[in-house]
Amino acid sequence: MAKKMDFTNAAELLEICKKRRKTISEVMLAREVEKFETTPEEAKARMLKTLNVMRESVARSQTEDMKLLGGYIGGESKDMLRRIKEKGAMSGMISRASAYAMGVLEWNASMGRIVAAPTAGSSGVLPGILVALEEIYEFDDEALVRALFNAGAVGYIIGRNATLSGAEGGCQAEVGAASAMAASMICELFGGTPDVCLAAAGDAIGNILGLVCDPIGGLVESPCQKRNAMGAANAIVAAEIALATDGRTLVPFDEVVAVMYNVGRSIPYQLRETALGGLATAPSVKNLKPGSACAACGGCK
């Protein structure tokens, strides 16, 4: 049987969407069914389970008393939500999504259960936005599951044609990819066409092109946590622009992905997850030892 729903890049995806009058999420779901011996019901049920793990990672970051492995960060998400509650959000969706995204990174660093989306280091962006979306706009499970298939299609195109690894492509390949996935997913939820979705995805990566990966102490804590907050905010901005302008943009998504890959390869290796450059070697932190939270926990002794 010919593989009707498979695609290798954004151009092919858009062609299938147009020819069959389908959304990106519908094509991605059909591709999954076609290639991986599953049914639409099974695949959607598994995605709902994934969504629930994302929701739980946000919720537990707000309720648990977390002990973070490195102790470089901790409590920032709760602090921000407290301020939102007391003083009001500076910008509704963005404030909440970015606060939640930070929380997931705290939960991740305390050995919480998360969904790598696409990686553990960028695991805050999608849950942060999804939970904010369901709180503010009251999207239901079905819509959010659909959104995740859309996001998966964008991540797949980046992973297949470039990279999703900070060691290979810097932070632009992790938080940048997550941000692109989220931007596209938001557009589909708000009725954007596949063209609009991919324009938003391309702009999201374009906005943070070249972002380096420079984890302090080599750990997935800082600056990863706040970069996830930025990734969420960037996705919302890119989505809103694309929705408002009917996806007007100069560089098509496939070209943005190719550019991202080439830029990633030209980032010096000191700035690709090795902790040998960037913020990781700033004077105030370069000799930092894992902090008090680690000593208090003692779990590794």
Partner 1 sequence: MRELSVFDIIGPIMIGPSSSHTAGALKIARVARMLAKTKIVSAHFQLYGSFATTYKGHGTDRALVGGILGFETDDYRIRESFQLAKEAGIEIIFMEMEMETDTNMHPNTVDIIVTEEDGTVSSLRGASVGGGEIEITRINGCEIKFSGKNNAVIIQQIDRPGVLASITKVFEVFDVNISSMSVFSKEKGGAAFSVLEIDGHLPEVGMEALLRQPNIVSAVYIKVK
Minimum separation from the CB atom of position 47 to partner 1 (A): 7
How does DSSP classify residue 254? H
CB 181 within 8 A of CB 118: yes
CB 219 within 8 A of CB 70: yes
Contact residues: partner 1, CB under 8 A:
28-29, 31-32, 35-36, 43, 46-47, 49-50, 53, 69-70, 107-121, 123, 126, 148-149, 151-153, 155-156, 159-160, 164-165, 167-168, 181, 217-221, 290, 294, 299-301
C-beta closer to partner 1: residue 90 or 300: 300
Minimum separation from the CB atom of position 224 to partner 1 (A): 9
* Rg, C-alpha atoms of the chain: 19
Minimum separation from the CB atom of position 83 to partner 1 (A): 26
Torsion of CA 206, 207, 212, 218, to 10 degrees: -120
Minimum separation from the CB atom of position 248 to partner 1 (A): 27
Half-sphere exposure of 169 (CA within 13 A, CB side): 24
C-beta closer to partner 1: residue 168 or 214: 168
C-beta closer to partner 1: residue 30 or 212: 30
Question: Residues 104, 109, 113, 118: is their CA dihedral positive or negative?
Answer: positive
C-beta closer to partner 1: residue 189 or 241: 189
C-beta closer to partner 1: residue 248 or 286: 286
- For residue 292, give both structure tokens: 């008090």
CA distance 116 to 108: 10
Minimum separation from the CB atom of position 113 to partner 1 (A): 5
